[in-house]
Amino acid sequence: MGSVRAVAGVARQGEGGWKTSQQSLGITTGAQSKRPARSGVARVVSLAFSRSSDRSYPKEHLLNRRAKATATMPSYKLTYFNITGLGEPLRFLLHYAGIDFEDFRVEFEDWPALKSKMPMEQIPILEIDGRVYHQTRAISRYLAKKGNLYGSNELEALEIDMCVDDIEDCRLYYSAHFREQEPARKAKLLELAIEKTPWYLAKFEQRVKKNGGYFVAGKLSWADTHFSAIIELISNIAQKEFVKDFPALDKLDQTVRSTPKIKAYLDKRPHTKF
Ligand SMILES: N[C@@H](CCC(=O)N[C@@H](CS)C(=O)NCC(=O)O)C(=O)O
């Protein structure tokens, strides 16, 4: 653990808003996890590594047995980059469900040292009582059940999954652009993503209009929260406010963003480019 230190700018959300703190290393202690869950409260921390020889991600981050043994409420820790990206749909769900969690934000320069410690060498991961879970959509389903955002029956759940996968199909064009290193190909991939997006959004617009203003069954589900998080991401990458051309989607996005717990998070979240 000696190789890890909390950094300046580490932020903690308390009643007075975001506060810097040197205290948190992003490790959930037994004492912390005894605290009863507070609605929609997250601690945001960043991780930095010293330049010493041991640059490993401490085991305590991944498996905190002490926390597990002493917790009265499950402890949740989300690890993702300090951007919206694939972390944001999970942050929306955690806040919406009123789950007290640690919002652990990794700086890009620290990622190489952390990568090999992750189950699939990628993030986001969610630790629940020190156990590590990965894959955004798998975690989302778990959280959506906690927040009652996964439909009222199996067929609604199927429809929600279907919509999320459609949203992901659209996002993947941006992911291809993001991953490409060669400048000309990168620019071409962004062009392609921007060209494809309205086709997806037109389909989504029809669906949302038909379903009473939501993706599925006339009520809020994690398809809606996922959409809102992803449309923000791709709009920022493309520098284009796509939803303005799609009134039903625009309204749905505002509905998601004005749900009290998501709004409270949005009002206080760190400002990031993506
Ligand atoms: N299928 C995974 C994809 C995760 C993923 O693509 N993570 C990216 C960030 S959005 C990542 O870790 N990139 C760094 C890397 O691959 O080294 C999921 O949905 O969680």
Q: Is 134 a residue whose pLDDT tops 50?
A: yes
Residue owning the nearest CA to atom 12 of ligand 1: 122
pLDDT in tens, 168-217: 999 999 999 999 999 999 999 999 999 999 999 999 999 999 999 999 99
Q: Which atom of ligand 1 is nearest to the CA of 115?
A: 17
**114 with 106: CB under 8 angstroms?**
yes
Name the percent of the chain lying above pLDDT 90: 73
Instruction: Give the integer Cα–Cα distance in Å for 46 and 82.
Output: 8
Question: What is the CA(81)–ligand 1 centre distance, in A?
Answer: 10
Question: What is the CA(107)–ligand 1 centre distance, in A?
Answer: 14
Beta-strand ranges (E) seen in the chain are: 4-6, 11-14, 17-20, 42-49, 76-81, 101-106, 125-128, 131-134
Q: Is 250 a residue whose pLDDT tops 60?
A: yes
User: What per-residue confidence (pLDDT) applies to 4?
Assistant: 27
Question: What is the CA(6)–ligand 1 centre distance, in A?
Answer: 24
Nearest to 231 by CA among 268, 206, 201: 201
Max intra-chain CA distance, the chain: 58
Name the percent of the chain lying above pLDDT 70: 74
| Residue the block writes with tokens 């991401």 | 233
User: What per-residue confidence (pLDDT) applies to 72?
Assistant: 75
Q: Which of 116, 122, 230, 233 to mutate for ligand 1's pocket (most ligand atoms within 8 Å of CB)?
A: 122
Residue owning the nearest CA to atom 15 of ligand 1: 122
* Ligand 1 site residues, Cβ closer than 6 angstroms: 85-86, 115, 122-124, 135-137
Q: Looking at the whole model, is its pTM more than 0.85?
A: no
User: What per-residue confidence (pLDDT) applies to 38?
Assistant: 45
Least confident of 69-78, 103-112, 199-208, 245-254: 69-78
Question: What is the CA(206)–ligand 1 centre distance, in A?
Answer: 30
